[in-house]
Structure 1
Amino acid sequence: MAELEARCFPHDGWSAQTFWAELAQRPRRSYWVAVDGTAGEEELAGYAGLDVAGDLADVMTVAVDPGRRGTGLGARLLETLHARAVDAGAVAVLLEVRADNEPARALYSTRGYRVVRTRRGYYRSAGAASPVDALVMRKELVGP
């Protein structure tokens, strides 16, 4: 997962150590992986993580191999997270996305997410000229 993370998020991806910490002793968190076996060998195509606390869920990450973007895999992973959140009793889900990540923002917007807050200068990449804002987005999972 850390190798795919580095390809998906070259400026601020999680390290292998961060993944281990994320997966260890975190009973509220769930992760799903998408595997592609069409080339004869199974390859990690994407993954997504969710944290559920009461009636609110947080998308921890959604990552799709750059060569598989635009295939609907990100949307399928996101829908899997939504279903898990509803099953766990969540009525809404939050996520953070880089303000300059237009493809991810478009995916989230088409799936019903709306910007509720901006965290100025949240992403601070090594060697970057300036920090990038994080947009906090929210989706209601159950209607009135």
Structure 2
Amino acid sequence: MTPEAMAALHARAFPAGRGWHAAEIADLVAAPGGFAVTAPEGFALGRAVAGEAELLTIAVAPEYRRAGAGRALLARFEAEAAQRGAETAFLEVADDNAAAHALYRAAGWRETGRRKGYYARPNGAIDALTLAKKLE
């Protein structure tokens, strides 16, 4: 999947948020530790450095939601991060994203903190939850 295709899919997956631009995606993947896992249904972007990984975004096309695509991408992200030497992975998720919360909880991620007012919304900022998971 090209950075342009990922940017277009990200915009569809998160219509209310600021989408990632193709150049941002390309720069992230090219940076030290950066990587993408892709599938026709979506993608995950992350980085793995010094024994830790960060899931920066996971995007699933709306027509593939609730069919296991997000779970498969998350598992592939975790496997790739572990292969790159990460022992622990981290992410941030909007407090109002119930579907993502359910996905991460089911995959064994645990809440480690909260960033107050991290995500802008039309009616004001909302918190981000920080989650972590030990990788195998």
Task: Mark yes or no: TM-score above 0.5.
Answer: yes
CA distance in structure 2 between the aligned counterparts of 1:17 and 1:133, rounded to whole angstroms: 27
**Paired position in structure 2 for 1:99:** 95
Matched residues, percent identical?
Answer: 37
- Larger Rg belongs to: 1
Which amino acid counterpart does residue 10 of structure 1 have in structure 2?
A: P
Normalising by structure 2, we get a TM-score of 0.89
Q: Which has the higher helix share?
A: 2
- How much is the aligned-residue C-alpha RMSD, in angstroms? 1.3
**Paired position in structure 2 for 1:31:** 36
CA distance in structure 1 between the aligned counterparts of 2:24 and 2:112, rounded to whole angstroms: 27
CA distance in structure 1 between the aligned counterparts of 2:106 and 2:93, rounded to whole angstroms: 14
Aligned residue pair count: 130
Which amino acid counterpart does residue 20 of structure 2 have in structure 1?
A: W
Which amino acid counterpart does residue 19 of structure 1 have in structure 2?
A: I
In the TM superposition, structure 1's runs of 4+ consecutive aligned residues that sit over 6 Å from their partners are none
Gaps of 5+ in 2: 1-5
Which amino acid counterpart does residue 96 of structure 1 have in structure 2?
A: E
CA distance in structure 1 between the aligned counterparts of 2:102 and 2:73, rounded to whole angstroms: 15
**Paired position in structure 1 for 2:28:** 22
1:18-50 CA distance string (max 9 Å, x none): 324323x41311102112xxxxxxxxx201112
Which amino acid counterpart does residue 54 of structure 2 have in structure 1?
A: D
